[in-house]
Structure 1
């Protein structure tokens, strides 16, 4: 090791002299006393987060290593079974199927919501008469509660009396009505459509805010250079929107991973489990089969996926702040 490397190597606190260690702990105690009021204000929030977030996660992680089949209790109670629950999850064909359905659901709905949101943001950024009213109307799908939205679409998708079948039959696009939520070929796509309809306004409003923050001088310079409208969008709009776009995209992914209400209200995971995303698989394992160990193990897989995208979101947020 050369002298430069030796000078860069810092001793740990345990290797420091006793007097230096005492000085460190005194400074830490002094800092705690100086910020006592701040910590007291944060304490209630930390307590609530610990009770409603950290404790359930830790409890579920513990249950994933235990026998928790409530429908078949055993004299030992809830003994540790090691990785048996995780093995049962991976061996379950339904889990792998629901994992594939979830990724397809995320891919299609996130891409479409982002694309439609971008289109809406660009259109709403153009000055026209009544633009304020249109902006307010675009928010409506996002503001309506999920259950209300699903109940309306259930009526619209109805095989006999649904307005969608009625319009398509009158336009001669269909020769026979379709049970959109009752057929394996259409149920998942029908649920995706509802998700996209409800979710694209959020992406649109966020991207619109980003568009309004782009200096007009950049577009003026591009016009002087003879750039077309599409060239301005590619060379000015998209690079300037990159920080906002990454954050919006990751937020959509995170929210879609934990999506439950829309698919469950529309199809309940059916027919033949073709719309069973991971959250519905976990619900069925826990509250239909009463195998909370299996449900907890599946929940840990979902937690890992969520944490990965959450970390990416946090990094994107920091990158946006430093840009």
Structure 2
């Protein structure tokens, strides 16, 4: 005998309202039930909408309008369709800035990650004064960008810079080098500053991941005769994968929009060899006063940033499910 026959679950059609009227009634009931929560988040939503969403939507609109401020027309700011996007794609400087940005991201992200994981492994090893060293490592990341750049400008100085002085005393240079004024070294000098400032973040994040790896895994690997390198390869790296993916994506997202370091150090020069995409957008808008072109280039940057942000969000969800 089936005593639970009268407890039959309602069908999908019975459980949910049917039609548009039923849908809106259900939404209204949900809003009323969560009214207090929505009131609490309303100020934040308003601030985000005004500070973040409005500029993005305005820039998207400007990218389809005529905004050459230096050459105004009687019609004001009419819609020009995809003319600004076509002009961006035809620009040789835009293509060049894309290549520079790609190199800048690839080199700095890889080096920051590699240095970060190496530093994390060292800081995870017991030694005297480890707590002090862990505190000191974070200093480069905590120092403001402008301060860091001004210090490195002095260090890179052609006549009085300490870097030239040290390299010449070590007989690695026969004469001083204008690191920030030479087209062969300017980009690498800027990338060095980026790596020096950014690797502590990767180190601290990866150190937290290392501390979460059970010691029993290393003990089992040691019993099986695995060397230190094999333990790192087969135990440490697989266990760090969730944290590593998140750190790597964060570094990429932050580097895509990097502006301050390169601009303070070189301003995009010499001969635009350090003109990353953010500086190209700045020059188009605030040097050439072509805000339509700058907005169109900014939309390209936004699309790439959003794509990596989606990957980051998926990675964080995958990490939570592990």
| Band of TM-score, shorter chain | over 0.9
Distance in 1, matches of 2:24 and 2:182, equals: 67
Aligned position for 1:299: 298
| Secondary structure of 1:296 counterpart | helix
Aligned position for 1:274: 273
Distance in 1, matches of 2:25 and 2:307, equals: 38
Distance in 1, matches of 2:96 and 2:216, equals: 51
Aligned position for 1:35: 34
Change in 2 beyond 3 A, CA 1:107/1:17: closer
- Aligned Cα root-mean-square deviation (Å): 1.1
Alignment length, in residue pairs? 308
Aligned position for 1:4: none
Q: In the alignment, is residue 210 of structure 1 matched against residue 209 of structure 2?
A: yes
Deviations along 1:64-92, whole A, 9 cap, x unmatched? 00000111111100001111100110100
Q: In the alignment, is residue 321 of structure 1 matched against residue 320 of structure 2?
A: yes
Aligned position for 1:184: 183
Change in 2 beyond 3 A, CA 1:318/1:17: closer
Q: In the alignment, is residue 310 of structure 1 matched against residue 293 of structure 2?
A: no
Distance in 1, matches of 2:113 and 2:76, equals: 48
Deviations along 1:289-310, whole A, 9 cap, x unmatched? 0000000000000001101100
| Shift, 1:28, TM fit | 2.1
Aligned position for 1:171: 170
| Shift, 1:26, TM fit | 2.6
Distance in 2, matches of 1:227 and 1:179, equals: 49
| Shift, 1:29, TM fit | 1.5
Distance in 2, matches of 1:275 and 1:25, equals: 54
Distance in 1, matches of 2:24 and 2:166, equals: 75
| Secondary structure of 2:126 counterpart | coil
Aligned position for 2:7: none
Aligned position for 1:7: none
Q: In the alignment, is residue 96 of structure 1 matched against residue 59 of structure 2?
A: no
Aligned position for 2:113: 114
Deviations along 1:160-199, whole A, 9 cap, x unmatched? 0000000111111100100000000000000000000000
Aligned position for 1:219: 218
Aligned position for 2:5: none
Distance in 1, matches of 2:30 and 2:85, equals: 45
Change in 2 beyond 3 A, CA 1:17/1:308: closer
Distance in 2, matches of 1:17 and 1:87, equals: 47
Aligned position for 2:86: 87
Distance in 2, matches of 1:160 and 1:58, equals: 48
Distance in 2, matches of 1:206 and 1:66, equals: 43
| Shift, 1:17, TM fit | 5.0
Aligned position for 2:9: none
Deviations along 1:193-227, whole A, 9 cap, x unmatched? 00000000000000000000000010011011011
Distance in 2, matches of 1:165 and 1:130, equals: 32
